[in-house]
Every structure is written in structure tokens, then in C-alpha cells.
Amino acid sequence: MNDTFLKACRGEKTDYTPVWLMRQAGRYLPEYQKVRSKVDFLTLCKTPELAAEVTIQPVDILKVDVAILFSDILVPIEPMGMKLEFSESKGPILYDPIRNDIAVSKLRKIKSEEDVPFVMEAIKILVKKLNVPLIGFSGAPFTLATYMIEGGSSKNFINTKKMMFQTPDLYAKLMDKITDTVINYLQAQIDAGVHAIQVFDSWAGILSPYDFERYALPYVQRIVSTFKGKVPVIYFAFNGSAMLKKVKQSGADVLGIDWRIDISDAVNSLGNDVVVQGNLDPCVLFGTKDLIREGVSQILQGAKGAKGHIFNLGHGILPETPVENAIAMVEAVHELSAK
């Protein structure tokens, strides 16, 4: 197996900088569209053979150094007791949002092997087929809580912040339940064979640094400390560049960095004892191949002082992205970083 990614996670020397793209399996690939035209998104997530097939697509097409399980952060929320739907126009919808004690009390702690067996089945198929490592993942408790409290995506997250600020005990009770679910879910993925895990905190950046520390970080720390030393743990607090020192307190082996910060400034602030992952603006992939190469080169240079670097975009690849430009990015990373 190509273990360049896992070596980089551990801060060991590698022959080149490993690379993958967040949302690398998805709508920008015609091969994905073809599978997806036959089934809706949730059915795709729940059918192990199909989920495995689309997980492998970007490994073959882009030649990335690692695969990420095809699923969604909201999948384990459904067995907690919320009805989930993906609408083409509105994105995810969670019915009967969680706003009071009765609703929190009713939420179940999930048993992943029984409640979402399709995830573990997809992983078992993948570890047999892949010649690169496989990343398992979960949403971070705060990000999952925003979807559960708002009932979907949101602009100002007023209901989430109301619960945080008006009924902190209820908020803590909800976060504890979500954290238990996340730990059970990630443990089941590790038992099924994933080689590393990433915790996506897509909405961490809507919190002030003080509130991040109080209302989001402790739960991430509980997750990271559960898995530390077992498999590499990546924590991605999107829009978190203004609070990197607190993000580092998560204890994760690898920290995802979005594109709003010069990666050399991120490394200066974090120090040389943590691995960084990132951070090309996904929209640079709409530029020319020369521009993409230049962007890659700057980031490779900028990350040199870190304990290790895994190249990635600063957020998910966009559905409109030309595939050949994503391929050009991966080639540029491999070529320019070769020792």
C-alpha cells in the first residue's frame, strides 16, 4: 500500500507531499454523476457497493494518495431519531429540529454496527480493494448540533446560539449525547478498517474564539483523546484561521487549514510540532494550469516549516470544477514536492 499519507500524518519524512481533495468523490466527476443519476444521494450512501465504487473513482482518476469514505456527516443523525432528507435545492433537511429538553431527552445514542451497518460494509469492501489508505470521518459535535438545532443549513445560527447562551445546561446535554454518538461511530469505522479519521467542524468559524473554547473545543478534545495513538486524527475547523492556537488545543495530529490564511503564517502560529493539511482556494481550480501550479508551489513552500504537510484544498472541491484542472493540481503537487 502507498503509505505516504500515513507517514506524513505521523510527521515522518516522505518522498513527496501526499495530496487529496475534500469532497473528492462528487458531482464534478462525470463518473459520479452516472452512478448518482440512478439513485438519490442517501440511497448512494446506504448502498455499500455503490458507496465503495464512488469512493474509488477519484483515486483512479486524480491519482490522489488517499481515499475518503463516501458518506455524509449527517448519516449518524438519522438513527439518533431525526428524519433526514437531502433536497436538490435546499441541501440537507432535518425534520422537527431539537429546541427543548424533551427533544434532547428523546435522542438515542447510536450503536453504529446495528444502526448504520452499510458504512462498515462499505469500509470492508474498500480496504480490500484500495492500494491507498482510507480516511473515515465524522462531523464535529458543534457542527452536527447546528444542523440538528437549525433543522438544516443556516445563515446566522440564531437557534443554536440561543440554546448555547440561554440554556447552557440543555446545550451541554445535547453536545454530550452527540459526542457519545460520534465516538461510537468513529470507533466502528476504525474497527472496520479505516486508517485515519477526519473530524469536520465546518461551522466552527461562526463562533468567537472565546465561545469556540467553551462550547465546541471540549467535545472535540474528548473525541481526539479517545483515538489519539490508535489512528491519525485530523481536525478541520473551517474558517478557524483567526483562532488557530485554540484549534491546536484539540490535540489532533493533523490540522486542516482553510485558504484565508497564508499557510506559512499558520505554521508560524502553530509551531513545528503539528502536521498541517491544506490550503488552496478551491476556486483556483477555475484558473489556468500555470496559475494552479503557482498556487501549489506557494503553499508547498509556505508549509516547509511544519512538522509535516498534506496538500489539500482549503474546503471542498466545487461541483463546477473542470476535472482536468483537479488532475493538474495533483500532478503539480507530486512533481514540485518530489525530493
Q: Which of 171, 227, 238, 311 binds ligand CP3 (CB under 6 A)?
A: 238
Residue list 113-132, contact with ligand CP3 (CB under 6 A): none
The Cα–Cα gap between 329 and 133 comes to 20
Interaction between residue 227 and ligand CP3 (CB under 6 A): no
The long-range contacts involving 213-216, CB below 8 angstroms and separated by at least 24 positions, are: 213/246, 213/249, 215/142, 215/164, 215/171, 215/175, 216/140, 216/141, 216/142
Interaction between residue 292 and ligand CP3 (CB under 6 A): no
Most distant CA pair in the chain, distance: 58
The Cα–Cα gap between 180 and 219 comes to 10
Interface stretch with ligand CP3, choices 65-73, 124-132, 186-194, 288-296 (CB under 6 A) = 65-73
Residue list 298-317, contact with ligand CP3 (CB under 6 A): 316
Residue list 315-334, contact with ligand CP3 (CB under 6 A): 316
Q: Which of 202, 279, 321, 325 binds ligand CP3 (CB under 6 A)?
A: 202
The Cα–Cα gap between 79 and 116 comes to 8
The contacts of residue 191 (CB under 8 Å, 6+ apart) are 120
Q: Which of 3, 72, 176, 294 binds ligand CP3 (CB under 6 A)?
A: 72
Q: Which of 4, 24, 146, 325 binds ligand CP3 (CB under 6 A)?
A: 24
Q: Quickly tell me which residue has 508547498 as its cell.
A: 300
Interface stretch with ligand CP3, choices 68-76, 106-114, 239-247, 301-309 (CB under 6 A) = 68-76
| 99 annotated active-site | no
Assign residue 132 a region (left: φ > 0; alpha: ψ between -120 and 50; beta: otherwise): beta
Which residue's Cβ has the minimum distance to ligand CP3? Answer: 202
Question: How many residues of this chain bind ligand CP3 (CB under 6 A)?
Answer: 23
Provide the mask over 158-197, with x wherever binding to ligand CP3 is found by CB under 6 A and - wherever it is not.
Answer: ----------------------------------------
Q: Considering beta carbons, is residue 170 or 200 the nearer one to ligand CP3?
A: 200
Q: Quickly tell me which residue has 439518533 as its cell.
A: 80
Q: How far is the CB of 202 from ligand CP3 (least distance, A)?
A: 3
Q: Which of 2, 3, 10, 36 binds ligand CP3 (CB under 6 A)?
A: 36
The contacts of residue 41 (CB under 8 Å, 6+ apart) are 72, 86
Interaction between residue 235 and ligand CP3 (CB under 6 A): no
Q: How far is the CB of 129 from ligand CP3 (least distance, A)?
A: 16
Strands 233-237 and 196-201: parallel
Strands 91-94 and 196-201: unpaired
Q: Which of 6, 61, 66, 73 binds ligand CP3 (CB under 6 A)?
A: 73
Q: Which of 5, 28, 70, 219 binds ligand CP3 (CB under 6 A)?
A: 70
Q: Active-site residue among 3, 10, 16, 36?
A: 36
| 36 annotated active-site | yes
Q: Which residues are catalytic?
A: 23, 27, 36, 72, 147
- Judged by the rule CB under 6 A, the positions of this chain that interact with ligand CP3 are 22-27, 36, 41, 68, 70-74, 86, 91-92, 137, 153, 200, 202, 238, 316
